Every structure is written in C-alpha cells, then in structure tokens.
Chain A
Amino acid sequence: MYKVVEKRDLAPGIHLLEIEAPMIAQRAKAGQFIMLMIDDKGERIPLTMADWNPKKGTVTIIALEAGKTTMKLGTVKKGDELRSIVGPLGIETHTQDLGTVACVGGGIGIALMYPTVRAMKQAGNKVLSIMGARTKDLLILEKEITEYSDEVHICTDDGSKGHHGFVSDILKKMLDEKRPIDVVYAVGPIIMMKVIADLTRSYGVKTIVSLNPIMVDGTGMCGSCRVNIDGKTKFGCVDGPDFDGHKVDFQLLIARNKRYLAEEKTAVEKFKKEVA
C-alpha cells in the first residue's frame, strides 16, 4: 500500500497527490511514468510523474479529471492508501548536449513538462518554456517552471493571461524569427502535439513528443499501448513514452485512445451516482 502524504487541488479538476513510494523516488528520471491503481477494483492507469523526492521517498503526480479513476483520485484524502504504484516505467527523456530546447506544454501536459524542463536545464541546455491552458486558473506550476527556464511564454485559449491563442502560435513566431532552437519537446493533448509536430516539420526542427496511449500492465506485456512510429509498431510503455514527433501516426493514436469511450461513460455515470 502506498500512503498519500499530500493532496491538493491545483485548479478545478486538477489534483496533486504526493505519495510514499521510496523505491520509485530513488530512481525516477524526467519523462518516466508510473502505473497507479487506487483499490482492489480499480484499473491500472499510467501517469507521468510531475515530481519526486528521493530523500522523502515520495513521488508526485498531477492528474486531470478525465475518466472515473482520475475523478476518484480527486476524492482521495491525505493519509489514504493506494493499492498499487509501479515504476519508474518507460525510457527517460534524453537531455544531454541538446543546446537550446523549446519545451511546450499544454493543459495537464504542463505538469508532465516540469521535470523535463528541470532536467533539461540541469543538463546545461538553454530552456525556452511555452505553457498554455484553456484559461488562467488552469495554468499550473508557473513558478516552478520559471525557476528552471531561461524564458517562459504563456498563453491561454480565452486570453485571460499571456498571449490569447495557442502554444503553437508562440513557437511559430520563434521559428519565424529564426531563433536558434535545436530541439522541441512537446507534451499535452494529442492534437496539440500533432499541431506542434506538423509545424516543426516544415522548419526541420527535431521534435520529441511524450505519448499517452491506453495501458494495462505498463511493462510491455499486453500491447494495449501500441503506437505506429515510422511505419513500425512500438509499445508506448517500454519503447516510449518519448518518440520522434515527426514519425508518429497521430491519427492512429487518436483512434486508439477512443477505444473505451462508451465504457468510460458508463463508469463515470456510475461513479457520479455513488458519490451523490
């Protein structure tokens, strides 16, 4: 069992949980994820780690309410225990000797981008962070990301803070201004990552995306997380989650991530009834 030592809501529907998991905290690296199961009847879901503390022996996850499990995470309280946490899984983000890196995070992707920004900076790269959300209340970890960034650019869909528009607008402007960017790292909604990858392709800038396919075991056993990279089938859990954004078949990923929409709806409705 894994004790929740801290629980906060960062914004409506965005939950931060700091959980005791010493073995994972010792070894976690930027870009890696955990599989989490709330209780005996729960499903196993992948969540990218937003932070970890080897001394304290904790890992931090930030989850956006999307399906039943993430909604239920919202009801977990400090002191509660979670049934299972496995990690650190996946291959860590490559950070060495890149040069200037533009880190682009959208929505809950900002939380996942934070450890990458930090690792990129600590590895000696110049870090340009671009963070976007629907509205200013959903802009999380601004302070933390600023600490490890050479520049921070903010945008919101509704214009409530920063640039009124999308992260891709800011990146496009940078590229048009011929700012030297060696690598773009993008994490967020699939459609955002696709837009970023399509944009950078025409500028010939290498782009890494962090994919979030549906998983069951998270250790390479089931293939639920198959993605198509440059025409070849890869497993998001063991071959990723980072992939070359210019080689990802995003249409397939979008379709595969909709596999259980109907069941998800059933589960959410049942959960809402139970909570009410």
Chain B
Amino acid sequence: MAEETPAPKKERVKKKYPMPEQDPKERIHNFNEVPLGQDAETVIKEAERCLQCKRSEKRKICVDGCPVGIDIPAFIRKVKEGDFEGGIKIIKQYNALPAVCGRVCPYENQCEGYCVVGKLKENQPVGIGRMERFLADWEREKGMAKPELPPRKGKKVAVVGAGPAGLTVASDLAKRGYDVTIFEALHAPGGVLIYGIPEFRLPKAIVWAEVEYIRSLGVKLVFDAVVGKTIKMQEIAQEFDAIFVGTGAGLPKWMNIPGENLNGILSANEFLTRTNLMKSYMFPEFDTPNRIGMRVATIGGGNVAMDCARTALRLGAEESWIIYRRSDAELPARREEVHHAKEEGVKFQLLTAPVKYTGDETGYVKKMECCKMRLGEPDASGRCRPIVCEGENFVLDVDIVNIAIGQSPNPIVPQTTPELKTTRWGTIVVDEWQRTSMKGVFAAGDIATGDATVILAMGGGKKAAEGIDRYLSQNEPWPAKEVFDKISSH
C-alpha cells in the first residue's frame, strides 16, 4: 500500500482578488457602474481564502458584523463548491436586497471588518461584499426563481415607504405568510436607492429587479400615496392588523448662512433626485432639467457628498470640490467612495467651511466665502471638534453648490399622527421590538435612527418584521405610553 502523501500546503493568497473597474478617465463621462463585477472563477478563488471560522462567545467573526445576520461562512462554503444557487439561497434567507447590499454596504466596517483573515498580518479580509454581489447578479442574469410561499395567515400588514427598511419588512413578512401592502409617496419604489444613490454606484435596473422579486412574494405596491396626506395613518390602522413606518430621513439640513437660497445652491436631495429619480442627466430626452455647473462645490464629507461631487463631474463640471470642515481621517464616507472620488479628480478642500454666498444680478451663486478650520479636542461623538481659524477666510468661485450635511427625519407621518411619540430630533421613538407609542405600529430605518446607512435600515426592518410577527401571533400587551416617554428621555 502506497503511503499517502499530504497535499502540498497551498500558499495563502493575502490580498483580495481585484475587482475590475471602469477607467476613471472614461467613467467620468458616463453614468455606468464603476466596479464591473468579477467572474465565477475569481469568486471561487476568493471563497477559498475564507477560513470558515466558527462563531463563539470569545471570537467574533464576519456574521457578527452583519446587521441582517447573514450566515456568511455557509454561503462562502457554497461558493467554494461552485454551488451559486445554494449560495444565493442562503443569503436570501436573511437579505431581500443582496444585489443592492453587495454594492452599497460599508463591508469594511461590517462583515469584512470582523473577518479573521483580515486580522492576519499583511492580509486583506475576504471579499465578502463582492461575493454577495456576484451571487445576486448571477441569479438575476439567469432569471430569478419564483419563491415558494407558506400558506397565508389571513393577516394584513401595511408598510409605509418602499425604501430599504420597508422593502425588508415587506419581504420578511410576505415570506412568513402575511399579506403586505406598501404605500410609497413617490411614483417609483426604492426610496433612497432610486432618488439618492447614483446610477454609477447602484444601477436602477438592479433595484427594479429586486423590487420585482419582492412583488413575486405577493407584496402589493401602492404608489403616489403620501401617508399623512393622501391617506392617514388612522385610516390605514382600521384596515390593517399592523403598520410599519419606514419613511426615512428625507428632510434636507441647511447651514442657515447668508445667501444660501441663491439659485444654484441645492440640497443634495434635490441635486440627486433631479439626476437619479428624474434622470435629468438625459435632459432633454427626459423633461426634468438640472443646471450644469462648471465649478461645483459640495459641502459635506459623507457618502451623499461623494455621490454629489462625482455626479457633478459626470454632468460636465470642470472642477468638483468636496468642502469638509474636518480632515481626511474624519471623512464619514466609505474609504472606497473617497478613493473613487479622488481617482476621478474630485478635489478635497478639507478643514474648510462656507460662511457666506454671493451671487450675480440674476440671483445665481458666484462666490463662496470659506473659513479655515483646525481640529480641537474630541467632542461627544468622539471626533475632533473643528474650530474656526479667524482671519484666514478665502473666496472660491462657484456656480453650483450642493449642501450634503445630512438629512432630518421625514416629518409628515409624525406631524399627522399625534399618537406617535417622537424625540427632539424628530425620530419616532421605538422599543427593542421596534414598537412605537401607537398600538400596532412599528418603525425602523432612518425615521427611527436618524440618517444612517441602507444596511442599518434593513437590519432595523428585520427586527421590525420579527416584532410584527410576534405581535400578530402572540397575545402580548402593547407597552404603556410611559415606556416610550422613558426611552425618549434617555
């Protein structure tokens, strides 16, 4: 009998397999997606980098970083075996929008941030996000199978808002046998996925396909329905057994500095909605215009700011600046977005804040006076507080300015539903099951947390779906008003 020789130990591949991308010089002239996706062979090799760690009390792994708790080692195992069908099936048990999350999730702080491989010296984490994207794209391109549905429970749930939180709740509850109807204020589904995130980061066809999947679960969508205006929460409550509110953070914040209402100064919401939802980049084939700026400044350092600055280049701007009051290290945007923006030629004017705008005789903005900042001691958020450097103001010539300093919770539902307790920031108060002070009403996503990420909204939506299922299947009393007073005073 021949002696068994151990297979030669394969050398570990330390880096992620590269993601092909559109060349920056080309891509700033189009709205096509920047990362082009990987092929099956590469993705299988990437899966081989995974150590298949076991989760334990002592050791946190990828799954611990996932807001929707996808069994990541399990789906990677399927990928490694070349069983893509099996892989996407596992993901979809947890996540109704994998093609979206595989693109816009901040994996570096979530699954990949926890990846044990990434903690090894000189190693990058396993490319979990790109694997999720691959599987979702693979499934969409071959045609999605109609999911098997459990018997109907005969209970109706209304979802307010067809954004990431609402779509997650709808999908989770439909899969559990509830009849779900989504009420959406706009004329199309997706919320921030369609009005906010640009085509080059998240192609809208992908959003449509994921929404189609959710529809195939039996979810009904009612468009043009502004809850609080077109139909009141109280009316919905009469017709449905439970309501989920996921109306997001749609109210733009302003700096309230002189000249901010000049023409050419837009909220990031307006600039992006014109471009993405209304397709102004195809004007005049599409009717909605968007003034093209040659010198565009975007105020803010988050993902929305990066989206504005990069969109401005694609619309034809000669120069596009990010104006941010802290330094590079504090930029709240994902590093990948910052990297892409820099590659494309976005200029970063850091430690700078606008103080005043002046315009021409037609009321159009022409100049932006800025002050310089330096970093002081860390504030409550743990970030260094920016301090104005007196006497160092300077002026930039601009013709479009986008204000991307954050959004407040959408006020329409709380304003028209006095039963819903809100915090002083305008968010809806929720308990650990995402229950609100109005019986049978749940909330999650930005309307409950303040502006955050797509995946956190989806995580909140998952919890809310759990909560709704529990509420409708167990006979538990609803928490007393005082519970919510107590939560909001914290």
Contacts and interface: CB of A to CB of B under 8 A. Distances in A.
B82 interface: no
B287 interface: yes
Contact of A256 (B251, B261, B288): B261
Interface of B: prevailing SS:
loop
Interface of A: prevailing SS:
mixed
Interface size range on B against A: 35 or more
A262 to B, nearest CB: 8
B407 to A, nearest CB: 8
A233 B254 contact: yes
A217 interface: yes
A245 interface: no
Nearest to A88: B229
Contacts of A88: 229-230
Contacts of B274: 216, 222
Contacts, number: 117
B279 interface: yes
A252 B283 CA distance: 26
B285 A41 contact: yes
A66 to B, nearest CB: 13
B285 to A, nearest CB: 7
A89 B226 contact: yes
Contacts of B96: none
A218 to B, nearest CB: 9
Contact of B283 (A37, A86, A238, A263): A263
Nearest to B226: A219
Interface stretch (A126-134, A142-150, A223-231): A223-231
Interface in A1-57: 23-24, 27, 37, 41-44
Interface string A162-191: 000000000000000000000000000000
Interface stretch (B147-155, B264-272, B368-376, B434-442): B264-272
A269 B406 CA distance: 38
A108 interface: no
A224 B226 CA distance: 18
Contact of A258 (B223, B363, B412): B363
Contacts of B287: 41-43, 68-69, 267
Given A24-B230, A87-B229, A221 B289 contact: no
B92 interface: no
Given A220-B411, A223-B270, A259 B230 contact: no
A86 B185 contact: yes
Given A41-B279, A217-B273, A223-B267, A270 B229 contact: no
A161 B278 CA distance: 43
Contacts of A23: 225, 230-231
B294 interface: no
B260 interface: yes
Contacts of A37: 187
A135 interface: no
8 contacts: A43-B287, A44-B278, A68-B287, A84-B223, A89-B229, A216-B273, A228-B261, A267-B289
**8 shortest interchain CB distances as A-B pairs:** A255-B363, A263-B289, A84-B187, A222-B270, A43-B287, A221-B250, A43-B288, A223-B267
Interface of B: 185-187, 195, 223-226, 229-231, 250-252, 254, 256, 260-261, 263-264, 266-267, 269-270, 273-274, 278-279, 283-289, 291, 362-363, 410-412
Given A216-B278, A224-B270, 8 more contacts: A87-B229, A87-B230, A219-B229, A221-B195, A221-B251, A221-B252, A256-B363, A263-B289
Interface of A: 23-24, 27, 37, 41-44, 68-69, 83-89, 216-217, 219-224, 226, 228, 233, 238, 252, 255-256, 258-260, 263-264, 266-267, 270
